[in-house]
Amino acid sequence: MNKSSEQSEAFTPVRYEIDITTEEARLGTKKILSRQGKKLEVSIPAGVKTGGTMKLANALQVTDGHPGDILIQVKVKEEKIAERVIEVNNDNFEDEVLKCSLPVAVDFWAPWCGPCRMIAPITEKLAEEYEGRLKLCKLNMDENPQTASKYQVRSIPQILFFKDGEVVDEITGLVPESVLRSKTELILQKQ
């Protein structure tokens, strides 16, 4: 093997993939990468997107004892909403909400909203309990500002109740489960 071939092998970067949550992507995070029994702390900057690549320059010197970079591809894991809660957006809102034969509750939310995350388990529970009688949906306002603007949603969480394509009631802010349940029951009784 000649010298130039040995040099190119020594500098071939090693590739890794790191999974992070959408919240970690938004705020930035630190992850530990293990290689050859050694640990490297990787700082992932705020705002990173899926497919973003980070380069740890000459990191193989630390882990493997020879020159070379480590390339890390970031994969942002989408957080799953409960299966019974339908994620709606600007494109499918009319079909999923306005044309639905059932009453529909749409939870307008955003990933950065703490109260939105607190009300999510309640809406997931109600989606299961009222399955077949009420359709529960979520709309991420950051990704779908046109629909949020059309319905004048300015504070979140905000749940709009639709019946026959029209808004018939709403709840704004973090409310106890009993309030959300009572409002749902009233809407279902009016069928």
| Residues annotated catalytic, as ranges | 113, 116
Task: Output the CA torsion sign for 162, 168, 172, 175.
Answer: negative
Which residue do the tokens 């939310």 mark? 109
Nearest to residue 106, comparing CAs of 131, 141, 143, 146? 141
**3-class SS shares of the chain: helix, strand, coil, % to 5:** 30, 35, 35
Backbone angles phi, psi at 126, to 5 degrees: -65, -35
Nearest to residue 123, comparing CAs of 80, 82, 167? 82
Coil vs helix vs strand at 187: helix
